[in-house]
Structure 1
Amino acid sequence: MTISRNIRRSLISTTALCASTFFLPLYAAAEDAATAEDENVFEEVVVTGSRIIRKDIESVSPITVTNAEEIKFSGHMRIEDMLNGLPQLEAAEHAYEGNGTSGVATLDLRGLGSNRTLVLVNGRRMQPGGVKSYSVDINQIPSSLLKRVEVLTGGASTTYGADAVAGVVNFIIDDTFEGVKVSAGVGAYQHNNNNSYMQGLLDDAGYDYPKGSALDGASYNFDVAMGGSFADGRGHVSMYANYRQTNELHMDSRDYSSCALLTNSCGGSANAVIPNFDFWNVDQGTGEIDFTTERWVQMDANGGFSAFDDNYYNYAPVNHWQRPDKRFAGGGFLTYELSDNAKAYMEVMMARDTTTGQYAPSGTFFNDNYKMKCSSPLLSAAQVADICGTFGLSGDDEFAFDVGKRNVEGGPRQNQFTHNSLRFVVGVKGDITDNWRYDTSLTYGATSSEDTYVNDFFAPNIQAALDVNLDADGNMQCANEVARKDGCVPYTLFSNDVTAEQANYLTATGILSGLTEETVFNGFVSGDLPLTLADDPVQAVFGLEYRKEHYRRTSDNLFENGQLLGNGGAVRSVDGSYDVKELFSELYVPLVQNKEFIQDLVLELGLRVSDYSTTGTVATYKAGLNWQVNDSVKFRGSYNRASRAPNVVELYSPQRLALWDGTDPCAGATPIFTAAQCANTGVSAAQYGNISVSSAGQYNEFIGGNPDLDKETGDTFTVGFVATPVEGLTLNVDYWNIKISGLIGGISSQLALDKCGETGSAVFCDLVNRGPSGSLWRGTTAAITSTNQNLGYTKQSGIDFAGDYVMEMGEGSLNFKLLGSYLIDKFTQSLPGEADSEYDCVGRINGNCYPTPKWRHTASVIYNSGDFWQVGLKWRYFGKVTNPDSERDNKDISAYSYLDLSAGFKLSDNVDLAMGINNILDRDPPMLNSTNSTTGNTKPGTYDPLGRRLFATITAQF
């Protein structure tokens, strides 16, 4: 594409201004600028957020641009790691998730949810990700042909349809690439284990941890791209192939993640190596369990029982810190001129990704109430006297129990994910007249995926293995003959001599398979209307779109019936779809041009009418105003009405039991809540002070879809300016305000529990269902209901800043850059009109709030020698966050700063080297307890989780 001198200069400065990382090799920019000096041919451009072909490359809405060179110099091989450094993004699903991972990588603009962030490739949708996540998996992006990433925050539903409530991330692929490019990179972490705080807690708990220096977690990538013209220049093809491998890393590789952090202590699970028990008496006439007779004990190595005290299992070390991952991607982009008025194009993208999430061995998890006769051969005489004697039982009388036993004999659990994705685009575009163009395309995307869940306890086999008698020779055997034929082995948990053979019988493998499909037909025309209010005519776009989404998840019998104890509950099969028919239009209206103080004043309008098969018809619209005062100052403002219909998972996903991380304020010997407050949540006077705490910090919740969901609506307002007050300096300042009403989701379980206790309101208390013993984590009946519904609203506002200054220094140049965001408001009212459901997250972290500082930024200084080398230093800053619930959770987190060093060398005309160190001071992440952390006692993706990152990439291009 050739662009006039002024437009090219503007493009370079805007890209530099908005970049999320600042290690762009300035020699490359200098070469582009030199080329631009020789080009005076004007060609119009298209920017993200609009289909208008225009002369002004700056959008009415602020856009952040990151190009491929910057990504390379960031040291990140995973694109999500790179983009999470943007102040506009909050970390979503990433490679640092093991327990509970979906195996994909997603993006989350403004922390409004990945389901509200629309992901595009060359302005067209990508299909959703996989069996456990309906958000787009950006593992599919071809890094070797990636030109840049454009991030537009705020509603863009008018241009692109639903899911763009928070904004758009548009990956621009180089489909005109010429030549051959080969790139190879390596990266690894170096860390010194010297966290005195965590080491002290680990010593107190008697847990092991690593000491000294570590060099680990290596990643490798190899990329090839090639392209060229054919048929006398009428056609062009670009092809790519990418391979990436990431080595696994466990929690025990870092001292600060070698145990699960509670408040000022190392936690552990009561599902221990040597089991813990709850015993109850049973009415021998009716067979009913008398839950008022609970006796909670721990067993010692000799089979004796004592009151439960400190028998915990440290489940953290075996969990994955960084998942092992292998990804192969390949594809191509083809254009061919069929005639002067028709150019055909095709895009093919394929990817295969395999990854594994590993976590602690399965356990019985106090999941079920078993019954056993006092005459069971599994019990010693001393145990019979202790258990049955306490309840006045003997012989064939039955007692009841649940048990916390960790399956260390069978090894850790794993989710083994495979994702295969295909995206295929065909289309034709061209000129209708000198002033009107058309573009029609058909996009089909599909992702097939499988989750093989291995080594979990299989519930029916546990009961069979506990129902034991003696054979004719006096040997123990499973009493059920059918179970014996299936390989049943008695489960000798009362004698603490469980074998691998027993574990093998007790475990099973569950399989989930899924397919997501998206089909989109889009057609539009654009051009000049016979209407002129200023020098240039009014431009317009008129188009239509049809889209169909289909999601199918197939569960095997184990998942379907919830028979895997470590999975949290049943995961049922689902098959659902919806479609939408849409008409859309845009207008670009020059109002005043070439006047004093009004070089250019342009009104932008947009309208989209959508007819959903699920929620009916809805209209979205936008209005924006661009005022170019002169060559140095420009003002801009816009309003967007966005809309998002519920996706097929939100609509049709079966309701099921799951787990949430948090705190029960009525648990423990000294509850946080008063007896009256706990009574609001269903705690009896006898239970108060006697409800056991979940040592893993996990409690049950009931989640799932709702076919009666309605759409949610977003309103976005932005206003700002772009200024170049002096030569070499460019400033961007934009105020933004987003409000989303009718939020689709479940009421936060922590919020429902807290507000029930504090207010006694039936709105919240009806959601809290305690078990017979008052617990919210034992058994399958205790849970907080958090199924999908249309809730209240959330609103956010803030100011984004960007600055870029270039000055000459010696033979080279010095470049200063800043990209920052100041958060004014992040307020949520979960239920309409319910003041008790309100909370504000600005500058806070707790069970309801992701760490949300008022200010965060990236700033850099880069020196380019003007010869073959450059060096850059970047400062990443994440402001202080406070915890309003510090009486039960962590204290405040101080401001965090990271320094990254980068260098680039042009080794020859065709070969360059990028290398550097991120987090050069090896700063540990903040330590957070189980309520506030997501992985490894911290928030990876926000804070650097593993220490220094060393990287190098060499690229050859011919």
Structure 2
Amino acid sequence: MRFHPFMRVLGGCSSVVALAIAGGARAQEAADAAAETDIVTDIVVTGTSIRGIAPVGAPVTALGQDEIQAQPANTTTELLRQVPSVANLGASDQYFGSANNSNANITGGNGINLRGLGTEATLTLLNGRRLPPAGTQGQFFDPSIIPTAAIGRMEVMADGGSAIYGSDAVGGVVNILLRKNFSGVELYAKQGFNGDVRQFIAGGVVGHKWDSGSAMVAFEHNERSPLKASARSLYTDDLRAYGGTDQRLFNSNPGNIQVAGRRYGIPAGQNGTGLTAADFVGVPVNRMSAYEGVDAIPGQNRDSVIGSIEQELTPGISIWGQGYFAHRELLRTVGASTSNLTVTNANPFFVDPSGTGASSVTVNYNFYDDYGPRQQDAWQRSWQIAGGIDAELGGGWNFSAYGSYGRNSEERSQQDINTAQLLAALRDTNPLTAFNPFGDGSYTNATTLANIRAWSAIGARYKLADFGAKVDGTLFDLPGGGVKLAVGAEYQDHSLLSYFRNTTAGANNSTVVYTPSTTSRTVKSGYAELFIPIFGRDNARPGLEELSLSAALRHDDYSDFGSTTNPKFAARYSPFEGFSLRGTFGKSFRAPTLSDIDPNTLTISVNDFTDPSSSTGVTRTLWVRGGSDTLGPEKATTWSLGFDYQPVFASGLSLSMTYFNVEYTNRIETPGNTNLALTPAIESQLGALVTRNPSAALVQGFLSNPLYTGVPENPANILAFVDGRKVNIGRLETQGIEGVVSYLFDTGLGRFNLGVSGTYNFDFKRTTSPNAAPVDVLDTINNPLEFRARGNVGWDNGGFSANAFVNYAAGYLNNSVTPVQHVEAYTTVDLSLRYKITDDAGFGLKNVTFSADIQNLFDRDPPVVLNGTLAFDPQVASIMGRFATIGIRANW
């Protein structure tokens, strides 16, 4: 039986509980904290440029500092990923595959992906300002580099926001707001552990408030050991035990010899010397796991510091400054280098197992016994400084201006193989120095191995300068309240340096080859927003408690692809106290990343594509892949309808529901990037991306490009051109509902809180080729799930509080295998315990809180998923297992 989506979300309370965003039992503590620190807790600033009002129509999920401390999460990103509208697809420190652009995440960062539209379609802000993005493609910001102690409030608006913020806010906006007017010292330490991983976190915040200003500095240190793949049975590429096939590598040690279309296993237990064809009789083909000695989850060390200061110069005029710096190091053990070695009969260890007298053979070889698994060393440094001024202009008008400059630099290096030295060693006729790939183990001279060993590195540096100014205030008064207007302008300067460094292509392993590429752009923007309260507190009447309208418009002029203008309209209507209806309609966009438009990332090759129409069965084809400087912006139309209800007859009960609809067009895709055939079906699908009998000028233009490194070709022999470059060709349509229910109530046994929230997607229709029909990929691997939810039940009495959280991810289809596999739903439970000493604990302590958290309390294994060379899906379920954390927090 299939339940109506509305009932699925609400009815989930009985079987699936979800996140009640404000741990209800903490409400009074939040109010007390606000009184102590002058934090205004009921003003939402995300989603509007007009100060003092909440965004009209758009739902905003908020977590304050007390709610943050009540959650069993150790980083800012973990907290945000508990919001059901955040899909765990894309940048993650547990997944580095090619799906959802995760392979561009070289330092183990964690991005936020609202609605499953991509981390690059979610805008992350710090106090409303843009931040320098991470990843080699500059496509996400990792909120975990902001210390949790520095956060006063986090807000998530899962609604298009380009009319307010410009590019990237297609899925929505995450805004991290720093603590304000904090006075005192707060220190904390946590120790996390299970049988295989250790994590230590320590940090604090120091602040001081004086009559005309305040200052705050927060810091955090986080270190986590790696999780070995050998500690988890599902982290395997031999899938036979789970109903799949053996995906282990043929590149092994001992290796395999390919000759005359057949693969022969090299015998075990010998040194590769004096082998004959007879030695291979009855020897099975060798296989070796790619995960031999590797890490399932890398180890990380991160240090972050952030500070802010605000000073009133004169009444009504104040200045402020902020800055952060974060450094992260990642150490990850990955699989050993592999290669298909061409070995001629000049090699002193040469053997032809076929006995046909071949002059050369191919050896599927693994360098594990020569060098062991490879170590990936990665680092990231991210920082930003910002400052601004706020001034009251009189008559209810205000002026604000800011400027910021920041950088994100990162690099990942690893051991590699120098191809020139390897080729020379394979051709060496001296048995004392030649490379020997025929043994079981490593039987090559140590000096030769040292000459072959090389390294390679990939890195990026993103620079962002951002300047803005805004005037906002009341135009005039209506019976329902003041009509407010905000007008502003912004200027951005972006620059991305991408590079490769390696010793793999040099004449020896000390010759460093450096290949850089730089792209840049500037953006000039102007925007306006209008708020109209038709009915409000002063003129409310039966059936018209409130009626508010808003309209926003932003124009962005890009130096590289032109301009775009995006409007947004919203309304909120309350017929009676405690109940309101709301809706939004708007246009949003995402500018292509600087990596997308970088033409220096081209890969140009000439290949024989399978072609049934050719007399030879193949056609010589020019194939081009990579970035394109002709890309334009991705565009989206978003709208939503919803309600909020806090019944006056049931104090503490809150219900909220939102229907959303996104039509996302002009998406950047690479439809011609994976096809090596010119079949009628593929040609029909790719359309104009395939050119038969291309002109000599087109062919010669690419063959003359310095990025072409192949052998010279006669343009007349090239009879087809496949354009695999990035192109604005994709389309995505999705709709669904999100619901939140929470209930807070007092009893003689203490205060209880219950909550459920979830996201139910109706569809996720996508097309990635010009002539392909949209396909609904909802509930399939590497795509959003139909239903996700999280909830809590909690109790608070005196200084003790306990909260249990249940996380639910619906089952889905793994259509990457045949037959299609049904993946089971996945449910885990988290537990959070707190004991707070509120009286003087000695040594001048105001209070001390002891904490104990357990994630995945019942140690649930991820469901089995035949996922390429894994037996689980790291984008849906963590392989970490049960993880406990104990901690202490103290205030002076």
TM-score, length of structure 1 as denominator length = 0.78
Paired residues of 2:780 and 2:814 also in contact (CA < 8 A): yes
Distance verdict in 2 for CA 1:97–1:406, change over 3 Å: same
**Which residue type is aligned with residue 417 of structure 2?**
F
Give the structure 1 partner of residue 230 of structure 2. 252
User: Following the alignment from structure 1 to structure 2, what is the Cα–Cα distance between the partners of residues 562 and 62?
Assistant: 60
Distance verdict in 2 for CA 1:702–1:140, change over 3 Å: farther
**Which residue type is aligned with residue 586 of structure 1?**
E
SS of the aligned residue for 1:255 comes to coil
Paired residues of 2:197 and 2:226 also in contact (CA < 8 A): yes
Distance apart, 1:309 and its partner CA = 5.2
Give the structure 1 partner of residue 701 of structure 2. none
Distance apart, 1:133 and its partner CA = 4.8
User: Following the alignment from structure 1 to structure 2, what is the Cα–Cα distance between the partners of residues 352 and 39?
Assistant: 29
Distance verdict in 2 for CA 1:754–1:809, change over 3 Å: farther
Match of 1:85 among 72, 82, 86: 82
Match status 1:645 vs 2:616: no
Match status 1:462 vs 2:429: no
SS of the aligned residue for 2:438 comes to helix
What does 1:151-230 align with in structure 2 at a 5 Å threshold?
Answer: 151-189=156-194, 215-230=195-210
**Which residue type is aligned with residue 733 of structure 1?**
M
Give the structure 1 partner of residue 559 of structure 2. 613
Distance apart, 1:628 and its partner CA = 1.9
Paired residues of 1:900 and 1:919 also in contact (CA < 8 A): yes
Q: Name structure 1 gaps, 5 residues minimum.
A: 1-18, 190-214, 280-292, 471-475, 478-488, 565-569, 659-676, 687-700, 770-778
**Which residue type is aligned with residue 629 of structure 1?**
P
Match of 1:834 among 772, 779, 797: 772
Match status 1:714 vs 2:636: yes
Paired residues of 2:684 and 2:771 also in contact (CA < 8 A): no
Match of 1:913 among 846, 850, 853: 850
Match of 2:832 among 902, 911, 916: 902
Match of 1:529 among 460, 466, 475: 475
Distance apart, 1:759 and its partner CA = 5.9
User: Following the alignment from structure 1 to structure 2, what is the Cα–Cα distance between the partners of residues 275 and 93?
Assistant: 35
**Which residue type is aligned with residue 348 of structure 2?**
P
Give the structure 1 partner of residue 256 of structure 2. 276
Deviations 1:833-878 (A, max 9, x none): 432xx32122323xxx43x33221112111112x111112211111
User: Following the alignment from structure 2 to structure 1, what is the Cα–Cα distance between the partners of residues 297 and 143?
Assistant: 18
Deviations 1:589-648 (A, max 9, x none): 112331221111111100111110011111011000111222121000001101222121
Give the structure 1 partner of residue 715 of structure 2. none
Match of 1:893 among 801, 823, 828: 823
Distance verdict in 2 for CA 1:260–1:911, change over 3 Å: farther
Q: Which piece of structure 1 moves more, 493-502 or 37-46?
A: 37-46
Give the structure 2 partner of residue 733 of structure 1. 657
Distance apart, 1:257 and its partner CA = 1.6
Distance apart, 1:95 and its partner CA = 2.2
Paired residues of 1:44 and 1:53 also in contact (CA < 8 A): no
Distance verdict in 2 for CA 1:319–1:53, change over 3 Å: same
Distance apart, 1:733 and its partner CA = 0.6
SS of the aligned residue for 1:267 comes to coil
Distance apart, 1:22 and its partner CA = 4.9
Give the structure 2 partner of residue 339 of structure 1. 314
Match of 1:747 among 645, 668, 671: 671
Distance apart, 1:356 and its partner CA = 1.8
Distance verdict in 2 for CA 1:713–1:23, change over 3 Å: closer
Paired residues of 1:48 and 1:170 also in contact (CA < 8 A): yes
Match of 1:802 among 736, 740, 762: 740
Paired residues of 1:260 and 1:268 also in contact (CA < 8 A): yes
TM-score, length of structure 2 as denominator length = 0.84
SS of the aligned residue for 1:144 comes to helix
Give the structure 2 partner of residue 284 of structure 1. none
Distance apart, 1:143 and its partner CA = 1.6
Distance apart, 1:760 and its partner CA = 6.0
Distance verdict in 2 for CA 1:39–1:730, change over 3 Å: farther
Paired residues of 1:145 and 1:174 also in contact (CA < 8 A): yes
Distance apart, 1:28 and its partner CA = 4.0
Deviations 1:786-820 (A, max 9, x none): 53111121011000000111222224122111111
Q: CA RMSD in A?
A: 3.5
SS of the aligned residue for 1:555 comes to strand
**Which residue type is aligned with residue 655 of structure 2?**
L
SS of the aligned residue for 2:51 comes to coil
Give the structure 2 partner of residue 50 of structure 1. 48
User: Following the alignment from structure 2 to structure 1, what is the Cα–Cα distance between the partners of residues 678 and 793?
Assistant: 48
User: Following the alignment from structure 1 to structure 2, what is the Cα–Cα distance between the partners of residues 408 and 52?
Assistant: 64
Paired residues of 1:130 and 1:515 also in contact (CA < 8 A): no
Give the structure 2 partner of residue 102 of structure 1. 106
Distance apart, 1:166 and its partner CA = 1.4
User: Following the alignment from structure 2 to structure 1, what is the Cα–Cα distance between the partners of residues 408 and 562?
Assistant: 27
Give the structure 2 partner of residue 494 of structure 1. 438
Match status 1:326 vs 2:326: no
**Which residue type is aligned with residue 492 of structure 1?**
N
**Which residue type is aligned with residue 880 of structure 1?**
G
Distance apart, 1:886 and its partner CA = 4.7
Deviations 1:340-395 (A, max 9, x none): 2321000010111111222111111x3x6x362x354232xxx25x45x515x6xx
**Which residue type is aligned with residue 844 of structure 1?**
T
**Which residue type is aligned with residue 576 of structure 1?**
T
Deviations 1:527-567 (A, max 9, x none): 0113x443312100000000011001232254788999xxx
User: Following the alignment from structure 2 to structure 1, what is the Cα–Cα distance between the partners of residues 447 and 688?
Assistant: 46
Distance apart, 1:402 and its partner CA = 5.4
Deviations 1:82-120 (A, max 9, x none): 322322112232222367551122111111111111110
Give the structure 1 partner of residue 646 of structure 2. 724
Paired residues of 1:869 and 1:906 also in contact (CA < 8 A): yes
Give the structure 1 partner of residue 760 of structure 2. 822
Q: Which piece of structure 1 moves more, 802-811 or 155-164?
A: 802-811
Distance verdict in 2 for CA 1:541–1:756, change over 3 Å: farther
Paired residues of 1:424 and 1:444 also in contact (CA < 8 A): yes
Give the structure 1 partner of residue 524 of structure 2. 581
What does 1:124-143 align with in structure 2 at a 5 Å threshold?
Answer: 124-131=129-136, 133-143=138-148
Paired residues of 1:98 and 1:358 also in contact (CA < 8 A): no
Match status 1:942 vs 2:888: no
Give the structure 1 partner of residue 704 of structure 2. none
Match of 2:497 among 508, 531, 552: 552
**Which residue type is aligned with residue 396 of structure 2?**
N
Q: Which piece of structure 1 moves more, 404-413 or 325-334?
A: 404-413
Paired residues of 1:96 and 1:323 also in contact (CA < 8 A): yes
Give the structure 1 partner of residue 751 of structure 2. 813
Distance verdict in 2 for CA 1:114–1:20, change over 3 Å: farther
Paired residues of 1:730 and 1:803 also in contact (CA < 8 A): yes
Give the structure 2 partner of residue 694 of structure 1. none
User: Following the alignment from structure 1 to structure 2, what is the Cα–Cα distance between the partners of residues 528 and 719?
Assistant: 28
Distance apart, 1:754 and its partner CA = 10
Give the structure 2 partner of residue 211 of structure 1. none
SS of the aligned residue for 1:460 comes to helix
Give the structure 1 partner of residue 886 of structure 2. 952
Q: Which piece of structure 1 moves more, 607-616 or 30-39?
A: 30-39
User: Following the alignment from structure 1 to structure 2, what is the Cα–Cα distance between the partners of residues 299 and 350?
Assistant: 53
SS of the aligned residue for 1:792 comes to strand
Report the count of equivalent residues: 809
User: Following the alignment from structure 1 to structure 2, what is the Cα–Cα distance between the partners of residues 553 and 679?
Assistant: 37
Distance verdict in 2 for CA 1:360–1:859, change over 3 Å: same
Match status 1:793 vs 2:731: yes
User: Following the alignment from structure 2 to structure 1, what is the Cα–Cα distance between the partners of residues 678 and 786?
Assistant: 26
SS of the aligned residue for 1:224 comes to strand
User: Following the alignment from structure 1 to structure 2, what is the Cα–Cα distance between the partners of residues 542 and 466?
Assistant: 69
Q: Which piece of structure 1 moves more, 542-551 or 642-651?
A: 642-651
Paired residues of 2:612 and 2:678 also in contact (CA < 8 A): no
User: Following the alignment from structure 1 to structure 2, what is the Cα–Cα distance between the partners of residues 736 and 62?
Assistant: 11
Distance verdict in 2 for CA 1:58–1:358, change over 3 Å: same
**Which residue type is aligned with residue 441 of structure 1?**
Y
Deviations 1:157-203 (A, max 9, x none): 111110111111111110321110001112123xxxxxxxxxxxxxx
Give the structure 2 partner of residue 6 of structure 1. none
Q: Which piece of structure 1 moves more, 898-907 or 293-302?
A: 293-302
Give the structure 2 partner of residue 300 of structure 1. 267
User: Following the alignment from structure 2 to structure 1, what is the Cα–Cα distance between the partners of residues 806 and 615?
Assistant: 50
User: Following the alignment from structure 2 to structure 1, what is the Cα–Cα distance between the partners of residues 78 and 208?
Assistant: 32
Q: Name structure 2 gaps, 5 residues minimum.
A: 1-16, 98-102, 693-708, 712-720, 840-846
SS of the aligned residue for 1:718 comes to strand
